């Protein structure tokens, strides 16, 4: 058995073999209070899986698909108040 080094996100349970993977993940981590991710934005209007099975969001301001890395550069990003669930959850759209 070999001992291996893993790197962990400071905000969630994500682990990776390379620190660069975690460095890329942390700014978009949904558990990061300073992070920017479409899931955490008030403008997210729908939630779906694309043809590759990846989890994506649609934005009511820019229209179309919004990906987690696009949110980092979005000047319209507004963080959701997590005491109130996003509208898509309140409407029962999520299982």
Report the distance separating Cα 81 and Cα 35, nearest Å.
Answer: 14
pLDDT of residue 73: 82
pLDDT of residue 10: 94
pLDDT tens digits along 9-38: 999 999 999 999 999 999 988 888 888 887
Q: Tell me the sheet residues that pair with 74.
A: none
Confidence of residue 95 (pLDDT cuts 50, 70, 90): very low
H or E, element range at 6? none
Closest to 79 in 3D by CA, of 34, 16, 46, 27 = 34
pLDDT tens digits along 44-66: 776 655 565 555 667 777 766 66
Q: What is the pTM of this model?
A: 0.65
- Taken in order 78, 84, 90, 93, the sign of the CA dihedral is positive
The pLDDT of 68-95, averaged and rounded, is 64
């Amino acid at each position: 058995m070999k001992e291996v080094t893993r790197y962990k996100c400071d905000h969630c349970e994500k682990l990776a073999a390379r620190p660069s993977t975690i460095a890329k993940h942390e700014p978009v981590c949904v558990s990061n209070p300073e992070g920017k991710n479409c899931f955490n934005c008030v403008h997210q209007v729908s939630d779906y899986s694309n043809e590759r099975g990846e989890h994506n969001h649609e934005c009511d301001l820019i229209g179309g698909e919004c990906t987690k890395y696009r949110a980092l550069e979005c000047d319209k990003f507004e963080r959701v108040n997590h005491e109130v669930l996003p509208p898509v959850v309140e409407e029962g759209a999520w299982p």
